[in-house]
A and B are shown apart, each in its own frame.
Chain A
């Protein structure tokens, strides 16, 4: 049954994971996402669904636990925040190379270095351009609400198993810590061993007599074969690009200008846009929901209609590169960002917009 609750985004992830029938969570404490692990330990799902919850000795261990669990066909996940996700990059490269389904949540904080515990979107490049070594991508979902924090757990796993790829939920400290109303999805049982064997014939489960050994390895010293592996990865990525682009549009029908923003900052931009509309300035908003694959088509289309695009991010200008590529120099594309954990208010966004587009230069 669905259940309406008031909770933090991080808590919603934990509840959604248990209800989705996730088999294992492996994590390490780091602000501002520790509530995911804390909530799971409090829920004790091993008593109900049989879900394994384990506090690992490091993010390095956690992501390799995810690698191991995913290799056996189980639905496994981890969550962390920016410095911890940096430590996970090696493991993510292996998970991508192993074509393993898994969910990784990054509740971003300001960096670089140890940085700050306050919200940021400065890991956009790391999430969407590979992050670890080698030629790989994975699906990146950007939640803007606590509801999406809950919903993207299920969506993330569905996509992960459909394409045999890791999926990252790239949230930020705002939506991780903010409390909102959330409708929790109905609970469903974990998959049985038989279902896993049917759905994941590649899974490393112990070899029954009738089949050859299943070996999960990312090593291939024959470079011709390694090139073939890479071509197969790229085919999957092409398929994902064709099928899985997701975004939300607001007020774009009559827009003369466009703002592009993802995650919780998009909600601040929406308020700014509504304020501007009261003054007769017609701005629209595109909120990419998948950051990879990037919704370049809609931005390309809208760039033919508007006079300019403002990209608003909690970083020094990362997604703007993808927006510029989509807009192809048709219109000016400017950036507004706050750094180091500062979140702008709607008026600041509007001021930035006016400064870029309305002031005579």
Chain B
């Protein structure tokens, strides 16, 4: 107790909630990666001092309510269409910071065409891509990024490539396109990786403002509810199973 009181003294508080992250109760499950990434997005916008010119595009999926938690202007797009929405927003408002925040189903299944073409045109937007290998919002169905053998509600006996095809490495695809300037894959399961993801988001946002092309920040994430694991176990499972298929690191970093 004494120790807690000591920590709570103002001079010892080195970490606080970003101002742009409001007090609304998040609907995310305990242990979900979304809350951490939301916090990082809010922090970076705040630190860059660009909230007056930031426009976020929310997806359909668990992050559909992203606009309820981060106090910037938002547009909620139709399923998969965020990159098309962002394209027009940025082209018509070229001094704005425009980013999409999308899950794997939104970005890599129903929105594949919009994602690839926005990146191929080199739209000056940032795509934040939460990859947890499952459809969280609708109750744990197979996503394009679901791993081979992984159990979901629509692959109850595990994903079979002869029936369902292969896990889609869309970030690798996007890195091939000349329109992208920065493509990276990160995670938020340890303090060190959280810091690296924050740096990645900052770099991506700076690129977008500077008009360098499309930046993609994939965050390999957990969905402990969908995966039916405890949050701690989900982190372990992610490192053991997701990282071999989706290895963290920069795929493209053009200065």
CB distance from A62 to the nearest CB of B (A): 8
**A69 touching B88 by the CB < 8 A rule?**
yes
Among A212, A214, A217, the one with the most B-chain Cβ atoms within 10 Å of its Cβ is A217
Whether B77 is near chain A, meaning CB under 8 Å from some CB there, is yes
**B64 touching A74 by the CB < 8 A rule?**
no
Whether B201 is near chain A, meaning CB under 8 Å from some CB there, is no
* Contact with B113, one of A58, A76, A213 (Cβ below 8 angstroms): A58
Interface size on B, residues (CB 8 A): 33
* Contact with A64, one of B64, B74, B84 (Cβ below 8 angstroms): B84
**B73 touching A90 by the CB < 8 A rule?**
no
A94: B residues at CB distance < 8 A: 78
* Contact with B77, one of A23, A26, A68, A76 (Cβ below 8 angstroms): A68
- Beta-carbon contacts of A194-220 to B below 8 Å, as 1s and 0s? 000000000011111100111111110
User: Complex: how many Å from CA A54 to CA B83?
Assistant: 14
Whether A331 is near chain B, meaning CB under 8 Å from some CB there, is no
**B75 touching A68 by the CB < 8 A rule?**
yes
Spot the interface stretch: B28-36, B49-57, B166-174, B212-220: B49-57
Given contacts A68-B86, A208-B52, A209-B52, contact A23 B75 (CB under 8 A): no
User: Complex: how many Å from CA A94 to CA B60?
Assistant: 13
**A65 touching B87 by the CB < 8 A rule?**
yes
**A69 touching B73 by the CB < 8 A rule?**
no
**A217 touching B76 by the CB < 8 A rule?**
yes
B86: A residues at CB distance < 8 A: 68
* Contact with B74, one of A69, A91, A204 (Cβ below 8 angstroms): A204
Q: How many contacting A-B pairs (Cβ < 8 A)?
A: 126
User: Complex: how many Å from CA A297 to CA B52?
Assistant: 49
CB distance from B209 to the nearest CB of A (A): 12
Given contacts A64-B114, A207-B52, A208-B52, contact A216 B88 (CB under 8 A): no
Q: Which residue of A lies closest to B77 (CB)?
A: A64
A69: B residues at CB distance < 8 A: 88-89, 91-92
Q: Which residue of A lies closest to B51 (CB)?
A: A207
**A68 touching B78 by the CB < 8 A rule?**
no
B87: A residues at CB distance < 8 A: 54, 61, 65, 68
**B117 touching A61 by the CB < 8 A rule?**
yes
**B89 touching A207 by the CB < 8 A rule?**
no
B74: A residues at CB distance < 8 A: 204, 213-217
**A23 touching B73 by the CB < 8 A rule?**
no
Q: Which residue of B lies closest to A26 (CB)?
A: B88
**B52 touching A68 by the CB < 8 A rule?**
no
Whether B189 is near chain A, meaning CB under 8 Å from some CB there, is no
* Contact with A72, one of B64, B92, B114 (Cβ below 8 angstroms): B92
CB distance from A184 to the nearest CB of B (A): 24
* Contact with B73, one of A52, A62, A214 (Cβ below 8 angstroms): A214
**B73 touching A206 by the CB < 8 A rule?**
yes
B89: A residues at CB distance < 8 A: 68-69, 71-72, 204
Whether A60 is near chain B, meaning CB under 8 Å from some CB there, is yes
Interface size on A, residues (CB 8 A): 38
Whether B154 is near chain A, meaning CB under 8 Å from some CB there, is no
Whether B67 is near chain A, meaning CB under 8 Å from some CB there, is yes
Among B86, B88, B91, the one with the most A-chain Cβ atoms within 10 Å of its Cβ is B88
User: Complex: how many Å from CA A74 to CA B84?
Assistant: 16
Whether A67 is near chain B, meaning CB under 8 Å from some CB there, is yes
Whether A9 is near chain B, meaning CB under 8 Å from some CB there, is no
User: Complex: how many Å from CA A219 to CA B65?
Assistant: 9
**A67 touching B55 by the CB < 8 A rule?**
no
**B88 touching A24 by the CB < 8 A rule?**
yes
CB distance from B3 to the nearest CB of A (A): 38
**A57 touching B88 by the CB < 8 A rule?**
no
Whether A245 is near chain B, meaning CB under 8 Å from some CB there, is no
- Beta-carbon contacts of A74-109 to B below 8 Å, as 1s and 0s? 101000000000000011001000000000000000
Whether B134 is near chain A, meaning CB under 8 Å from some CB there, is no
- Beta-carbon contacts of A166-196 to B below 8 Å, as 1s and 0s? 0000000000000000000000000000000
Whether A312 is near chain B, meaning CB under 8 Å from some CB there, is no
* Contact with B114, one of A52, A61, A76 (Cβ below 8 angstroms): A61
CB distance from B71 to the nearest CB of A (A): 5
Whether A7 is near chain B, meaning CB under 8 Å from some CB there, is no
**B78 touching A67 by the CB < 8 A rule?**
yes
B96: A residues at CB distance < 8 A: 205-206
Whether B72 is near chain A, meaning CB under 8 Å from some CB there, is yes
A205: B residues at CB distance < 8 A: 55, 73, 93, 96
Whether A30 is near chain B, meaning CB under 8 Å from some CB there, is no
**A64 touching B81 by the CB < 8 A rule?**
yes
**B73 touching A204 by the CB < 8 A rule?**
yes
Whether A314 is near chain B, meaning CB under 8 Å from some CB there, is no
**B76 touching A218 by the CB < 8 A rule?**
yes
CB distance from B220 to the nearest CB of A (A): 27
Extra 8 A-B pairs, beta carbons < 8 Å, given A72-B89, A207-B51, A217-B75: A60-B84, A64-B78, A204-B75, A207-B73, A208-B52, A215-B74, A217-B58, A217-B74
Chain B residues within 8 Å of A, Cβ to Cβ: 51-55, 57-58, 64-65, 67, 71-78, 81, 84-89, 91-93, 96-97, 113-114, 117
Chain A residues within 8 Å of B, Cβ to Cβ: 23-24, 26, 52, 54, 56-58, 60-62, 64-69, 71-72, 74, 76, 90-91, 94, 204-209, 212-219
A-B pairs, top 4 by smallest CB distance, nearest first, are A68-B85, A217-B76, A65-B88, A64-B81
Give 27 CB contacts A-B under 8 Å: A24-B92, A26-B88, A54-B88, A56-B84, A61-B114, A62-B84, A65-B87, A67-B81, A68-B85, A68-B87, A69-B88, A71-B75, A72-B92, A91-B78, A91-B81, A204-B55, A204-B73, A207-B54, A208-B52, A213-B67, A213-B73, A214-B74, A215-B73, A215-B76, A216-B74, A219-B65, A219-B76
